[in-house]
Structure 1
Amino acid sequence: MPTSSGHTTAIRASRVIGTNVYNTAGEKMGEIEDVMLDKTSDKIMFAVVGFGGFLGIGEKYHAIPWSLLDYDKNNGGYTVGFTRQQLEQAPVNTIAELTENDGRKVRDMSFSYYKVDKAA
């Protein structure tokens, strides 16, 4: 069943992981490295977007609220409504930090930074 924007409501995680993320100007911002799931609520907590680095060295990981990602068929990737500078200033995490305290600390910091309601 499609959403109001015409997207499907279900997608396999394997199709999401590895997908590029762009800003609205078409500049590549990073790539979806993983998706964090909240098993108790059956919701996606956030997408893990890798930014910078080379071959995994020096890469930074950002927790992006799933609701901020919009798939763009023309780019073949997700589009976010913020600039590279905004992403560079966003909270940065290690892979280990993404799951500390069941991911809630990272989720809360991310949702606060991007001004997204956790209940949404």
Structure 2
Amino acid sequence: MPLTKSKDILDQELVGRDGHKLGHIRETFVDLDTGRIEFLIVEAPGLVGASGKYHPVPWSIVRYDPMAKAFHADVAKDRFKGSPSYDRAQIRSADYAWDEQSNRYFEVPVDVV
């Protein structure tokens, strides 16, 4: 079982289908009951640097490629751009139900959640 430190995940790029860069991983959300990562919070690039919008990406659609030393999600860049996004305050609040919205958008099966 490969292990890594959370700080080694942060600021890594998330790469989408066809090798398109989707953004940088800014946070991880862990389920305290299971100890599993549930979401990567990815900041999409803006016109000049970072966008300030954060896209929750379900961990279940992410894989790590040890050869490329990169995280990949099987999602096209345009689909990622259209995914639910939030500012920092919204991501920190459960009131926005961003987790449910993200799972629904990325079509994560209920039994995986």
Q: Into which bin does the TM-score normalised by the smaller protein fall?
A: 0.7 to 0.9
For 1:108, the equivalent position in structure 2 comes to 100
User: Does the CA contact (< 8 Å) of 1:108 and 1:118 recur in 2?
Assistant: no
Q: Identify if the C-alpha distance between structure 1 residues 41 and 72 changes in structure 2 by more than 3 Å, giving closer, same or farther.
A: closer
CA distance in 2, matches of 1:45, 1:83: 21
CA distance in 1, matches of 2:78, 2:55: 13
Unaligned segments of structure 2, at least 5 residues: none
> For 1:33-63, what per-residue CA distance to the aligned partner results, in whole angstroms no more than 9, with x for missing partners?
110123244332311001022454x332100
Greater share of strand residues, 1 or 2?
Answer: 2
What pairs up with 1:38-53 in 2 under 5 angstroms?
A: 38-53=31-46
Query: Do structure 1's residue 93 and structure 2's residue 86 form an aligned pair?
Result: yes
For 2:27, the equivalent position in structure 1 comes to 34
For 2:7, the equivalent position in structure 1 comes to 14
CA RMSD of aligned residues (A): 2.0
Q: The residue matched to 2:99 in structure 1 has which SS?
A: helix
Unaligned segments of structure 1, at least 5 residues: 2-7
Q: The residue matched to 1:52 in structure 2 has which SS?
A: strand
Q: Identity rate of aligned residues, in percent?
A: 22
CA distance in 1, matches of 2:33, 2:107: 23
Q: Identify if the C-alpha distance between structure 1 residues 71 and 81 changes in structure 2 by more than 3 Å, giving closer, same or farther.
A: same
Task: Name the TM-score, length of structure 1 as normaliser.
Answer: 0.80
Aligned residues: 111
Task: Name the TM-score, length of structure 2 as normaliser.
Answer: 0.84
